[in-house]
Amino acid sequence: MERTAGARKRMMKMERKSSMASSYSLTPKEDIIKLAKNVLEQIEKLENPDIKLPIRTLSNIYFDEKQNLIRLGGKMSHRTYLNVAHTRKFMQTLMVAAECKKIIDQGVTISIRDLYYALKRTIPETKENTFEEQEESDPILEDLEAALNTLRERLHLKADRKGYLAGPLMINDSGDEIDASRMGSSGWAIPSNVEPEIIKLDSHADFVLVVEKDAVWQRLNEDKFWRKHNCIIITGKGQPDRGTRRIVNRLHTEFKLPVYVLTDADAWGYYIYSVIKQGSINLSFLSDRLGTPQAKFIGLTTQDVKKYNIASNVTIKLNQGDIKRTHEMLNYVWFKPREWQQELKHMLEVGYKLELEALSSKSIRFISETYLPDKIAKKDFLP
Amino acid sequence: MERTAGARKRMMKMERKSSMASSYSLTPKEDIIKLAKNVLEQIEKLENPDIKLPIRTLSNIYFDEKQNLIRLGGKMSHRTYLNVAHTRKFMQTLMVAAECKKIIDQGVTISIRDLYYALKRTIPETKENTFEEQEESDPILEDLEAALNTLRERLHLKADRKGYLAGPLMINDSGDEIDASRMGSSGWAIPSNVEPEIIKLDSHADFVLVVEKDAVWQRLNEDKFWRKHNCIIITGKGQPDRGTRRIVNRLHTEFKLPVYVLTDADAWGYYIYSVIKQGSINLSFLSDRLGTPQAKFIGLTTQDVKKYNIASNVTIKLNQGDIKRTHEMLNYVWFKPREWQQELKHMLEVGYKLELEALSSKSIRFISETYLPDKIAKKDFLP
C-alpha cells in the first residue's frame, strides 16, 4: 500500500476541507497559558485570584430557535482563591489546566481516569489529597472545556468510543490512509478524538444514515446498503459517544451531506435523535460542534406499523415510565413541530412502542430493501 | 489500492493457514439437515420424536486438567415431542434450527434479537405465540450450538462486538484487505464473526498482548508499543466478547504466538484472565475455540505495588464483596497454582486492589516504557 500521487492529492484536498472545520482563534495550549497568565497578573497586583467560568446549570441553558440548538447562555460565575468554599476547586482547576498543558507538550492523549490518577497526590505535610475521587476531577475538566470554549479532545483527553461507520469515505488518521468502503464486516472504528487536526476526511457520499443499533448497522453493512445508495452508515451503539456525534457534525458541515437518523420507535430512540440534532443539556457548551440541527428523522415511528403492515404481536405495550416520558417530551420545545406532536400523541393513543428488529418479522432484508429506500424516495421524514 | 501479486500470494497463504483452524467434519447446514432427518425418521417409524442435547448445567461441567480448559461432560438429556413439559421447547428447537438453515441459505447474518423477532408469531387458530420473549429463544440457540458442537457464528448469528486490535497483522475480510498496522488511532474493530471461512489472518508478530481496558489499549497504540515490540495489542473492553476471545485463540493456534494478559489487579480482572485462558462455565461447550490455555498473566498484581514503588494513595481498599470473591477464587482449580495462591493471599493481606490507570501516577508512559518491557524481559508472569 504505497502512497501514490492520487493519495497525496487526496490528502491535500482533505487538509483544505478539514481546515474549514476548525474555527478557533487560539490553540488550546495558548488558551491555557492565557488563563494562567490572568491568574498570575492578579497575584502580582495583589488581587484575589479569580477564574471566570460559564454557569452550566439549567438556569443558564436555552434553546436557540434560530440555530435549532441547545445552548449555554452568557451567565458567568467566579471561582476565587481567597474564598474557603472555592479554594480547593480553584487549586484543582489550575492543576487540571497545568496537566493538560503538560500532555499537549508531551504529545500524549490520556483518559479522564488517567487524569485523575496523574493528579491524585497527598499535599506535602498534610493528610489532604488533591483529589479524592474521579467524580471530583471530571466536572473540573468540563468547567475548563466551557471556560476555554473548547473540546476536551483538543486538550488531549479522550472520551469513551464505541461508534462504527462504513461507506464512500476516505480517512487520513495521522498519516494512515483508511478507506471506509474496504473495511469488511467491521467498518471503521470511530476514535474518540476526530478533530480536524488529526482526522482528515474526504467523501463523495450523497447522505449520512445514523443508526441507533449496531445489529441494524451490521445488517445494512452486510447488504452493502451504503454502496447501493452511495451513503455513509454510522452507528453509535445506543446514545452516540462524542466522537460519533462530532463525525456526523463534520460530515454535514464539511460535505453538506443530509443526515438521516434511524432509531427504535420509543422515547429513548426519539431522545437519541434529539441529542444528535440539537445537542444535550449536559454538553450544551459544545452543541455547535456536536449537534447537527439539519438532521432529519427517518424512522421508526408508531405510525409505520400501519403504513408497512407490521404484525401487532411484535409491538411492545408502553409501560408507566414510557407514558410519563412521552408526556414530558410533548412539552419539549424541540418536539413542538406538528409532525412530532402527532407522532407522540399517536404513540400514547395506540399504547405501544416498537424496536427496529421488529421489521425482521416481515423479512430479514425488509429494512434495507423496502423500508429505508421507500422512506427516502417519499422523503417521509420527521423534522 | 489495487490487488497486487503480493496481495494474491498473501491471500493464498492465509487460506492455507486458516484452513488449519476449522476442524469440523460437517458444515453447519449439513449438521442441521442431519438433526432434522433424525426427527423425520423417528416420525416415520411412529416413534416419539426425540432430540438429544448435552446437559449444560454445573453437574455436567468439569475442569480438564490436561488441556487446562473448562469443559462440558458427556451427559445428555432428551427433548421429546410427546412430553407435555417438552413439547413447546421441542417445537422451538426445530423452529430455531429451520431459521438457521434459512439464513445460511440466504447468505445473511442476523442478531439473536432478529432471530427472536423473525420467529415470533401467533400459532394459527390459537392465542399461543411461538415465542413470548427473547429469553425463550436465546437458550434454545445455545442448546443448538451445543447439540451441533458448533459456534453460533457458523450458524450465521452474530453476538455483540466491542474489541479492537492493532499491530503487524494482515486481515482479509470477505475480500477486503486490512492492514492492522495502518489503522491510525482506532485499530481494527474485531467483528463478531471471525471464523476462518470469513476472516483470514497473516501475521509475523512475536506475541499477543490482551489488555482489559480500552483506555490502556489507546495509550499503548499511541505509543506504538506494538511496533517497538513487534506484537499485536488487543482489547475486549472489559470482559471480552466472543469474537475477541476467538481471535486470541486463533492467533495462538495458527501462529503459535504467546499470549499475555494485562488487567486491573482485582478479582474482576483476574476473572477476565481466567475466562480468556480456560473458558467460562456458561460457554463450556466452546472452550476449545474460545479459550487459550497457554495464556500467561503479565499483570497488574498487588505485588507490583512494592516492585514498582507505586504510591499507596492510588491503591483502593478492598470492600466486603472483593474479600468474599477473593476467598472464593482461592478455591478454584484454575487458581490453584502456587503463584496465584500467593497473589490472592497477598491481596487479602495488604487489603487493597488497584487499577491499571494507577500506573499513570508514576508517569503517563510508565506502562508502555517501563512496566511492560520490564515484565516481559524478566518473564515475570503468573501461570
Q: What number is the ipTM of this complex?
A: 0.90
Q: Which residues in B lie closer than 8 A to residue A117 (C-beta atoms)?
A: 314, 355, 357-361
3-state secondary structure of B199: strand
- CA dist B112 and B90 (Å) reads 19
Q: Which residues in A lie closer than 8 A to residue B357 (C-beta atoms)?
A: 111, 113-114, 116-117
Please provide the size of chain A in residues.
383
Residue B14 touches partner A, C-beta closer than 8 Å: no
**Is 80 exceeded by the pLDDT of residue A2?**
no
Q: What distance in Å separates residue A118's CA from the closest CA in chain B?
A: 4
Mutate to test the interface with B, among A114, A179, A200 (most CBs of B within 10 A): A114
Mutate to test the interface with A, among B357, B368, B371 (most CBs of A within 10 A): B357
Pairing of strands B259-262, B207-211: parallel
Contact A200, A14 (CB under 8 A): yes
- CA dist A292 and A260 (Å) reads 10
- CA dist A75 and A87 (Å) reads 21
- CA dist B129 and B133 (Å) reads 10
Q: What distance in Å separates residue A338's CA from the closest CA in chain B?
A: 32
Residue A231 has a pLDDT of 98
In 3D space, the residue among A158, A373, A166 whose CA is nearest the CA of residue A251 turns out to be A166
Average pLDDT, chain B: 92
Residue A47 has a pLDDT of 95
3-state secondary structure of A35: helix
Question: What phi and psi, each to the nearest 5 degrees, are found at residue B224?
Answer: 50, 40
Q: Looking at residue B368, what DSSP letter applies?
A: I
| Residue A113, H or E segment | helix A112-119
- CA dist B196 and B17 (Å) reads 9
B102-122 mean pLDDT: 93
Pick the CATH number of B28-158 from 1.10.760.10, 1.10.10.10, 3.30.360.10, 1.20.120.530: 1.10.10.10
3-state secondary structure of A208: strand
Sorting pLDDT into bands at 50, 70 and 90, what band is A193?
Answer: very high
Q: Which of residues 338-377 of B touch A (CB under 8 A)?
A: 355, 357-361, 364-365
**Is 60 exceeded by the pLDDT of residue A21?**
no
CB contact (8 A) between residue B313 and residue A116: no
CB contact (8 A) between residue A222 and residue B184: no
Sorting pLDDT into bands at 50, 70 and 90, what band is A24?
Answer: low
- CA dist A217 and A221 (Å) reads 6
Q: Which of residues 140-159 of B touch A (CB under 8 A)?
A: 158
Q: Which residues in A lie closer than 8 A to residue B117 (C-beta atoms)?
A: 314, 355, 357-361
Respond yes or no: is residue A273 known to be catalytic: no
Cα B188 to the chain's mean position, in Å?
Answer: 17
Q: What residue segments make up the domains of chain B, in order of their start?
A: 28-158, 164-377
Question: What phi and psi, each to the nearest 5 degrees, are found at residue A113?
Answer: -70, -40
The amino acid at residue B219 is R
Residue A204 has a pLDDT of 94
In 3D space, the residue among A299, A286, A282 whose CA is nearest the CA of residue A368 turns out to be A299
- CA dist A154 and B208 (Å) reads 31
Show Cβ contacts of residue A101 under 8 Å, excluding neighbours closer than 6 positions: A29, A32, A33, A36
- CA dist A202 and A200 (Å) reads 7
Cell of A204: 463523495
DSSP notation for B328-355: HHHTSGGG-SHHHHHHHHHHHHHTEEB-
Pairing of strands A157-158, A110-111: parallel
For the beta carbon of residue A152, count every other beta carbon within 10 angstroms. 22
B253-258 mean pLDDT: 97
pLDDT cut 70: percent of chain B above it: 94
Question: Model's pTM, two decimal places?
Answer: 0.91
Show Cβ contacts of residue A353 under 8 Å, excluding neighbours closer than 6 positions: A264, A265, A266, A267, A302, A315, A316, A318, A322, A347
Residue A16 has a pLDDT of 63
- CA dist B325 and A6 (Å) reads 58
Question: What phi and psi, each to the nearest 5 degrees, are found at residue B232?
Answer: -110, 125
Q: Which of residues 231-270 of B touch A (CB under 8 A)?
A: none
**What architecture is the A164-377 domain classified under in CATH?**
3-Layer(aba) Sandwich (3.40)
In 3D space, the residue among B175, B166, B229, B228 whose CA is nearest the CA of residue B199 turns out to be B175
CB contact (8 A) between residue A361 and residue B118: yes
**Is 80 exceeded by the pLDDT of residue B213?**
yes
Q: Which of residues 296-315 of B touch A (CB under 8 A)?
A: 311, 313-314
Residue B315 has a pLDDT of 94
**Is 90 exceeded by the pLDDT of residue A110?**
yes
